Structures are given as structure tokens and as C-alpha cells.
Chain A
Amino acid sequence: MANDPISQFQIQKIFPIEVGGMDFSFTNSSLFMVLTVAATSAFLLFSTSGRGLVPSRVQSVSEMMYEFIAGTLRDATGTDGMRFFPLVFSLFMFVLVANLFGMFPYFFTVTSHIIVTFALAMLVILTVIIYGFMRNGMSFLKLFVPSGVPGALIPLVTMIEVISFLSRPISLSVRLFANMLAGHITLKVFSGFVVSLGAMGAVGIAGAVLPLAMTVALTALEFLVAFLQAYVFAVLTCMYLNDALHPSH
């Protein structure tokens, strides 16, 4: 691995599986997806196993997560959006824990791969499109024609709306992917400086203090980003779901 900031994103096969010429190997990425799911489920289930009327500390963490996402979703979509609560909650918890797992040294960051974040974004967008048509029929297309726009501008505005709708899965996935990737590269580069400078003797060690301080600060920032990006993902999911529920805006 050494100081190469990219190698941390390397996918390594653990159990090679190949079906019909396609590579479905169980990789380090798969391992961390499993760990993310297992750890999150275990935490949520064990923390609430007491079903305490007065919650223990871990139980109140689970309750806080639950009420936080419930409040976000209800604010964005109203009560009829609560049917998507399991989806939004699962997305938020999965992204959050995957991001936080990435903060452990030598752990693989599942969300630093565009295909994973894109798949999650497509899950959201497809849910919006399918549910939008199921619920509203063709009037779902009103989403692209905002009311109160002068007739001459309608083609232009509609085009802009369609483009913005189509760019949603891209922006949703790239935002998360790029944040995690850039953060981890930056961390790796600065901590690499510490090692390189430290190897240069007394002057180098003195000089290494700066990148070390930077690494510490960046680590704190990355924890914030890990939470924030999961939250942003959940909030945008809520807003897009709101379009499926109430297309005429």
C-alpha cells in the first residue's frame, strides 16, 4: 500500500466467483457491505431488545436515528410519504455506517465506488418514477411543466426540468462518491507526508508536525462529511419522493 493514495480503493477478490463469464467474486467491497449491514442490524436490534420504557443509552441512539429520519421524511413529503420510511431509513443507515466504517484505518469504503452510489441513486429515482406513474398516472408528467409559467416559455422550462430530472441520479451518486473519495485521498496524502517527512531525520520529524495536525483536523472533518453526506442523501431522497407524491408544484 505504502503512500499510494489510490490503492485504498482497490477491489480485491476474497472468494472468486464467476457465472457465465461475469465476475461476481466476493471481494473486500462485498465483505464491507456485509459488515455494514450486519453491524447496523445488530446494533439496532440489540439496542432495542430491552424495549425499555426509559431508554438505555444505546436504545436512545436507535430511537434518535429513527425519529430523525422520520421527521425529515415527514417534513419533506407529509404523512403519505411515510410509506417510504423503510427505504429512506435503510438508505440513510447503510450510507452512514458504510461512510463511518471507511474512517477505520485499513477498512474499505463501500461508498467510495461510483457504481455503488449510482446503484443507490438509481434505486431512489426508479422508485420515484415507478411510484409516480402508479399513483398519478400520466399527470405525473406535470412535474416537468411548472404551473404559472407563460406559454411561450413552457417548452424551454420543460426542457430544463427534464434535464434537471435526468441529472438527479448523477448528482446524487457523484456527490456521495466524490466526497468520500476526495476525503480519503486527502487524508491519505497528508498522512503520507507525515511518514515521508518522518523518515528524513530530526528536521523532517519537526516538519511532520504540520501534516500531522492537518491529518487530525481532516479526520474530524471526514467524520462530519461521513454523517453529512448520508444526511444529504436521505434529504434529497425525501425531496425526490415528494415529487412522486405531489408532482404538480
Chain B
Amino acid sequence: MAGDTTTESQTAIVDTAAEHGVGFPPFDATTFASQLLWLAITFGIFYWIMKNVAMPRIAGILEDRKDRIAGDLSEANRLKDETDAAIAAYEQALAEARNKAHSIAHDTRAKLKAEQEARREKAETELNEKLQAAEAQIAGIKTDALSQIGDIAGETTSALVEQLIGKAPTKTDLTKALKSAMD
């Protein structure tokens, strides 16, 4: 069997060589003209189709996509900028509100404190006044009482002296005596 195959293939080679005169088809110059002609025709048509139809179409597709992507990107950037601006505005408003709240709280606290202080001062002043009034009154009463002590002592002394000696002392003596006693 193997022998048969070898013989066959050998025969084939011999046949080929016999048919064409040249053993190796790529070097068979008789086929060159036909190959060159048909290559020129087919490759020429191919080049024309590529240059005028296929490549402009692919280039157009790629161009469209590039433009579209660039457009979408710039739109996205624009939206992002807008978002950033909105966020910044929001944060600014928030900060302002916070500051305002702070200042309101501060003002209120200060006002309340001032009011309280004023009320306290007023109360203190009133109390001081009352205290002074009371002290003045006490001093008055004391002075009165002290001044009346002399009279009472005089009366008492005169009554005592009258009882002791049967006769009331004179006013001058009494005063003199009282004075020396009280001093």
C-alpha cells in the first residue's frame, strides 16, 4: 500500500513536470502574463473600492463617534461645572445661615444678659436706697430716742428730786446736773 502511494506521488510529480515542462509551478514563466493581468485588474478594482467606498465610510464612522464622544464629554463637563457651582452656592448659603444663626444667638444672649444685669442693678439700687432709708430712719429714731432720753431723764430726775427733797429743782440746775452726768 505504502509503495503504491509513493509510486502514485512520484508519478504525479513526473506528470506535472511533463505537462508543463517546468517542475515548479511558481517559476513557470508561461503563467506570469495571466497572473500579472488578473492581479492588476483585481487589485486595481480592490484599490478603487477601498479608496472611494470602504475607507471613507469607516473614516466617517470613526469621525462621527469621535465627535459624539467629544460632544458628550464637553456636555458632561458642563453639567459637572454646573453641579459644582450649585454645591458651592449651597455651601455658601449654609455657611451664611450658620453665621447668621450664630450672631442671632450671640445677640440674644448678650441682650438677655444686659437686661438681666440692668434688672439686677436696678434691684440692687432699690435695695440700697431702701437700706439707706431704713438706716436713716433708724438713725432718726435713735437720735429722737437719744434726745428724748434727756427729757425723760430730766423728768425722772426732777420727779426723784421732788420726792427726795420735796421741791422740784430748777430747770437750769437740772440741765447742768444732767449734762455733767451724761458726759
Query: Using a CB–CB distance below 8 Å, which chain A residues touch chain B?
Result: 1-4, 6-7, 9-11, 17, 22-27, 29-30, 33-34, 36-37, 40-41, 44-45, 48, 51-53, 55, 59, 62-63, 66-67, 85-87, 89-90, 93-94, 110, 112-116, 119-120, 123, 177, 181, 192, 195-196, 199-200
Contact = CB atoms under 8 A, between A and B. Distances in A.
B13 A6 contact: yes
Interface residues of B, number: 47
30 contacts: A3-B5, A6-B16, A6-B25, A10-B25, A11-B25, A23-B30, A23-B34, A24-B34, A24-B37, A26-B34, A27-B38, A29-B31, A30-B42, A33-B43, A40-B46, A41-B49, A44-B54, A44-B58, A48-B58, A51-B64, A53-B68, A59-B61, A66-B59, A85-B55, A86-B55, A90-B47, A123-B43, A177-B26, A192-B9, A196-B5
Contacts of A36: 42, 46
Contact of A113 (B1, B9, B35): B35
A99 to B, nearest CB: 15
A94 B46 CA distance: 8
B26 A2 contact: no
A21 B31 CA distance: 13
A51 B24 CA distance: 47
Contact of B35 (A10, A86, A115): A115
Contacts of B165: none
